[in-house]
Amino acid sequence: MGIKENVVQVLSELPPGCQLVAAVKSRSAAEVLEAVEAGVKIIGENYLQEAEALFPVIGRRVSWHFIGHLQKNKVKKVVALFDLIETIDSIEIAEEINRRAEQLNKVMPVLVEVNSGQEPQKFGVMPEEVTGLLKKICHLPNLKILGLMTMGPFFPEPERLRPYFQETKALWEKIKKEGLPNVEMRYLSMGMSDSYQIAIEEGANLVRIGTKIFGPRPAPF
């Protein structure tokens, strides 16, 4: 099947209230445009430079989510271009986003990235540290904290991700009950092409899907 058919199929599988984020890392503008014309409403991009190349073609007909690791020197441009940042993982990045958003007279919606696998080589906040981080950043006036995101470890068998999704959902529910100011647990972003169905079963309402829409990524040069 082509990109259009893949998008239609994936959208048909999502329950009410669950949204598709099309992960477009290393995809061409023509591929992304085809996905948008097939019904994609949210673009997820890992790299600012790629988003800047795609934006003149795609524009504001979709929402833009930043789903990669955010470096401090990229924050200014990311805040200007994107509608939601899914990968807050430190006070420093949160404060820089707040500063840049204030300069643009913008309130920046963000998610906190949870390192649910507690893997030292990966980005994200350890589960037991998420509430503490939220308490430190929830008073930043130009941030709006809207939920959590997790990747989980890589397993050849996606079923093995279930406990990590369950833990992140439980954390999401716990934070919801905390009643922190400026913190709304609206989104739970979990699951990718091989694991999104399991993630949905465990409560995800944003799923980040690339390969299942676009096919295997082109090999790097």
What mean pLDDT do residues 155-161 have?
A: 93
Domain holding 164, by residue range, is 3-214
Q: What is the CATH number of the domain that holds 100?
A: 3.20.20.10
In a domain, 9, yes or no: yes
Q: 48 lies in a domain?
A: yes
Confidence bin at 218 (pLDDT 50/70/90): low
Note if the pTM is more than 0.85.
Answer: yes
| Amino acid 214: pLDDT | 97
Determine the average pLDDT of the residues in 127-151: 97
- pLDDT at residue number 81: 98
- Across 93-118, average pLDDT: 97
Average pLDDT of the segment spanning 118-134:
95
Q: Is the pLDDT of residue 220 over 70?
A: no
Q: Is residue 219 part of a domain?
A: no
Percentage, residues of the chain above pLDDT 70: 98
| pLDDT top residue among 8 and 219 | 8
pLDDT in the model for residue 219: 61
Tell me: the pLDDT tens digits for 48-102?
999 999 999 999 999 999 999 999 999 999 999 999 999 999 999 999 999 999 9
Is 187's pLDDT higher than 80? Answer: yes
Residue 1's pLDDT band, with cuts at 50, 70 and 90, is confident
| Number of separate domains in the chain | 1
- Give residue 217's pLDDT: 74
Let me know if residue 113 belongs to a domain. yes
User: For every residue of the chain, which 3-state class applies, written as one string?
Assistant: CCHHHHHHHHHHHCCCCCEEEEECCCCCHHHHHHHHHCCCCEEEECCHHHHHHHHHHHHHHCEEEECCCCCHHHHHHHHHHCCEEEEECCHHHHHHHHHHHHHCCCCEEEEEEECCCCCCCCCCECHHHHHHHHHHHCCCCCEEEEEEEECCCCCCCHHHHHHHHHHHHHHHHHHHHHCCCCEEEEEEECCCCCCHHHHHHCCCCEEEECHHHHCCCCCCC
Q: Could you report the per-residue pLDDT of 9-41, keeping only the tens digit for each?
A: 999 999 999 999 999 999 999 999 999 999 999
Q: Is residue 220 in a domain?
A: no
Percent of the chain surpassing pLDDT 90: 94
What is the average pLDDT value for the chain, to the nearest integer? 96
